[in-house]
Amino acid sequence: MPNYDYDLFVIGAGSGGVRAARVASGHGARVAIAEEHRIGGTCVIRGCVPKKLLVYGAHFAEDLDDAKHFGWKLESATFDWPTLRDNVLAEVSRLSGIYTQTLENHKVEILKQRAVITGPHHIRVGDRAVTAEKILVSTGARPQVTNRPGCEHGITSNEVFHLERLPTRIVIEGGGYIANEFAGIFNELGSKVTLINRSDTILRGYDQQIRDRLLQISVMKGIRFIFNAPIDNVARDPDGVLTVHLKTGESIECDALLFATGRIPNTKGLGLDSAGAQIDEKGAIRVDDENRSACPSIFGVGDVTNRVQLTPVAIREGQAFADSFFGGKPTKVDYRCIPSAVFSHPPLAGVGLTEAQARNQLGSIRTYTSDFRPMKNVLANRNERALYKLIVDEASDRIVGAHMIGPDAPEILQVVAVAVKAGLTKTQFDECVAIHPTMAEELVLLR
């Protein structure tokens, strides 16, 4: 039997790679993990965590405005971007340190260098050559920026957390969750926001009623949307002002341009072809339901496989991989009914089938909606309505989809996702006594 340096070598210390490394080590494997940037990956360093902290910070704009209706007398409030930015980055560093400590506590060897695969069991780490029985690629994905003249003047979600100053005017290109989340953040913080999109649809994949409601509220809040408007080129004057020229002929001046047009898997230059691993047309590693590539000793989890680009999915895949191949517990990830959320202003979330998907797949369905002003919004004189929606299979009474937009929608939807995943029926929802007064009670009162 070959004698390898490691039982498992992980390339990329993001959520999926860290979970796989520490669990495999806990099962007794000799594990090393290589990371050329910072421990923690996209979610911790430049994604979910710092973004959500900015969302919290931005929401104070509305909370402070609403407070006067609840009897609070506040002097004029001012916002300081460097304070929020630096506190967020400090929290990111703290969490990266915790991830590092977790790996060390589980006796995982950390190599802070770029790793390149040179064969089915061979890896080059800097100037060092090592071998491993199994190689796990968990290098995540990176922002996609199309090659148009002047695009180098823009930034992506990697750089947005490090802005020296809050832009007075910002243009955001994209229609997905990253674009809409940062549109809400910058709008609440006082920037003039223009969101441009190459198509006429935002948040493709979410229920149409819910995304239409977000668009309506966003426009009401002052965000400008321009649809069917690809960028032609970007120019920058000596004072740093950007002019974004659209193919429609319109031009927009701004202080910052954020590209949020999707993410592509980080497979370039990893040497996967040297071992026979296959890459698809989008640059992702092709893997089977055991996370194994075309090369039997090389595996992939997380965004680099481009199956479902969500942190909790990467963690589940890393856990399943480690349990299957080092813990003697064969496990496969169930990709049905994965809940997701957009931390926009207000946030939205969904699980299961949208109404359109349900009609196409099931034919006969029932839909239940509740369109209401949350109690807090009523007293604050804020004309912003929440929308909850359940989709039910007519034949079985089973709830096959749940979608909502409004305050704390992701927090509420997480619990609803358990019920949808478990196959509960509308009758069972109806039999549940409501907690009053709450927003969530609408889910068991829908008639």
Which domains are present in the chain? 6-142+264-326 (3.50.50.60), 151-261 (3.50.50.60), 346-444 (3.30.390.30)
For residue 271, give the nearest of 251, 285, 252, 291 by alpha carbon: 285
pLDDT for 270 equals: 95
pLDDT for 211 equals: 97
Question: In this structure, are residues 265 and 281 in contact, taking their beta carbons and an 8 Å threshold?
Answer: no
Instruction: Point out the residues of the chain with pLDDT beneath 50.
Output: none
Question: In this structure, are residues 108 and 33 in contact, taking their beta carbons and an 8 Å threshold?
Answer: yes
Catalytic residue numbers read 436
pLDDT for 374 equals: 97
pLDDT for 121 equals: 96
* DSSP state, residue 245: E
pLDDT for 146 equals: 82
The whole-angstrom separation of Cα 39 and Cα 14 is 7
Question: In this structure, are residues 293 and 285 in contact, taking their beta carbons and an 8 Å threshold?
Answer: yes
Phi, psi of 315 (to 5 degrees): -65, -45
pLDDT for 1 equals: 55
Burial class, 75, CB count within 10 angstroms (exposed 0-12 / middle 13-18 / buried 19+): exposed
Question: In this structure, are residues 184 and 344 in contact, taking their beta carbons and an 8 Å threshold?
Answer: yes
The whole-angstrom separation of Cα 41 and Cα 140 is 8
The one-letter amino acid at 406: G
Question: In this structure, are residues 342 and 348 in contact, taking their beta carbons and an 8 Å threshold?
Answer: yes
The whole-angstrom separation of Cα 404 and Cα 412 is 9
Tokens, residue 197: 């999109």
pLDDT for 447 equals: 87
Tokens, residue 42: 């996209």
The whole-angstrom separation of Cα 413 and Cα 346 is 14
The one-letter amino acid at 98: I
pLDDT for 147 equals: 87
